[in-house]
Every structure is written in C-alpha cells, then in structure tokens.
A and B are shown apart, each in its own frame.
Chain A
Amino acid sequence: SAVISQKPSRDICQRGTSLTIQCQVDSQVTMMFWYRQQPGQSLTLIATANQGSEATYESGFVIDKFPISRPNLTFSTLTVSNMSPEDSSIYLCSVESGVDTQYFGPGTRLTVL
C-alpha cells in the first residue's frame, strides 16, 4: 500500500485567510483525491486531481474556493481560500490503488476562528 503524508497535520486560522495543504505519496499514482470530513460525519469528495489536467470538482465545490495543484505524480496541494468557520473540518487526501480502492493520508485538522 502507498504511504501518504500530509502537511500541516493541524492548523488554526483566522477568518478570511487561506491555507494550503500538501499531500505527498511515496510512489507514482495517476489519481489523487481530496475529501472533507466534518466532525462525526462521513467523507465528502471535494475533487479528483489527475496529473497534467485540471482537477474535477464535485457538486458544491468550486475551484475559486478550493484550488488544487497536481504538479507531478507524487504530490498535490489543496488550498482552502477565504476561510470561514464553516470550513473547519478534517481535510484528507487519498490515492487510487490498483484495485479500485483508495489509500488515505492522516488528514489535516483545520479550525477557523
């Protein structure tokens, strides 16, 4: 299985600021995913990031709010822009495996004041 790291592991931010979350994987993968998990809730897919193409966003998520970069096959970033307290959540990146499953990073716990 892939080993995935995320930075930062947690952060406390002020309203109106932006935070960029990094996701690094130890092997080359085609597809990376970004999820949001609110406290006590299941996972909600934000977008799918393929290297060399624009990210594909799910309904309710827009590029201006959650810009994503995917510069190579082992790295991606998610920016949470112009944050509000409603953005307080855990943000998770995952990568596709070879058998239609996904492996997850440890998550970034974001609190917006």
Chain B
Amino acid sequence: QKEVEQDPGPLSVPEGAIVSLNCTYSNSAFQYFMWYRQYSRKGPELLMYTYSSGNKEDGRFTAQVDKSSKYISLFIRDSQPSDSATYLCAMSEGGSNYQLIWGAGTKLIIKP
C-alpha cells in the first residue's frame, strides 16, 4: 500500500461544475498538506497549502484536511477549461523530515 493514494483519473466534467479531488494517506505524522497543479509540459505549481486539519479557501479553490480520517480534498467551484491540468497532492511531516510524499496525480478535464 502506498503512503498516499490518489485516483489518477482522468476526471472529465462540464464547465461550471464543482470538482472534488481527493487523496488518502496512511502516515498519521503528516502535518503539511499541499495541492499542486501541473499543466502539460510545465513544472508543478503550488496551488494550496494547509497545515494540520481544517479548511482553506482561495478564490474558487477550497482545500480541506480531515486528519482523523486521513483524507484531504480540493474543491474547485465554477470550473473553467483553463483548470484542465493534473492535480497532485503532496504532504510532509515537516520539521527535520521535510521530504514531500506525493500522490499519483489526477488528470482533470473541463469540457466547454
């Protein structure tokens, strides 16, 4: 079993839909949770960052962390074709253990 599980998709939704992307993990020591967006032939771009449990909102994006369930989510409201990309979750224990543990990435396609 991988430390971080993420459905690779692809996930195809119509423009304007609410998108839900998810990752589960097994290491209860993870404290820092990130979502990266990667467009084709580009490097990953940090989209959202959350420390510990709770919600964080930035425009159309909301990141949720449920440490009790070891489950994180990224919601995209009013999805746009420009949101079509691969979304990778990453997490770390932090402190001296800085290494990021990555999900497989979910390919998201927003259909006009």
> B11-44 toward A: CB 8 Å interface, digit per residue (1/0)?
0000000000000000000011010100001111
- Report chain A residues within 8 Å CB of B104: 41-42
Q: List, in ascending order, chain A residues with CB within 8 A of B51's CB.
A: 99-100
Question: Interface digits, A31-63 against B, CB 8 Å rule (1 contact, 0 not)?
Answer: 100000000011101001000000000000000
Q: Is the CB of A100 within 8 A of B94?
A: yes
B8 to chain A, nearest CB (A): 8
Pick from A4, A43, A97, A107: contact of B88, CB under 8 Å: A43
Q: Are A101's CB and B46's CB within 8 A?
A: yes
Counting contact residues on chain B (CB < 8 A from A), the size range is 20 to 34
**Cβ-based interface call for B45 (8 A):** yes
Contact pick for B41, options A31, A96, A100, A109, CB 8 Å:
A109
> What is the distance, in angstroms, from B23's C-beta to the closest C-beta of chain A?
11
Inter-subunit contact B98/A104 (CB<8 Å): no
User: Across the interface, do A100 and B102 meet the contact criterion of CB distance under 8 Å?
Assistant: no
Partner of A43, one of B49, B94, B102: B102
Interfacial chain A residues near B31, Cβ < 8 Å: 100
Residues 81-113 of chain A, each 1 if its beta carbon lies under 8 Å from chain B, else 0: 000000000001000110111111111010000
Q: List 5 A-B contacts (CB under 8 A).
A: A42-B102, A100-B92, A101-B49, A102-B46, A104-B44
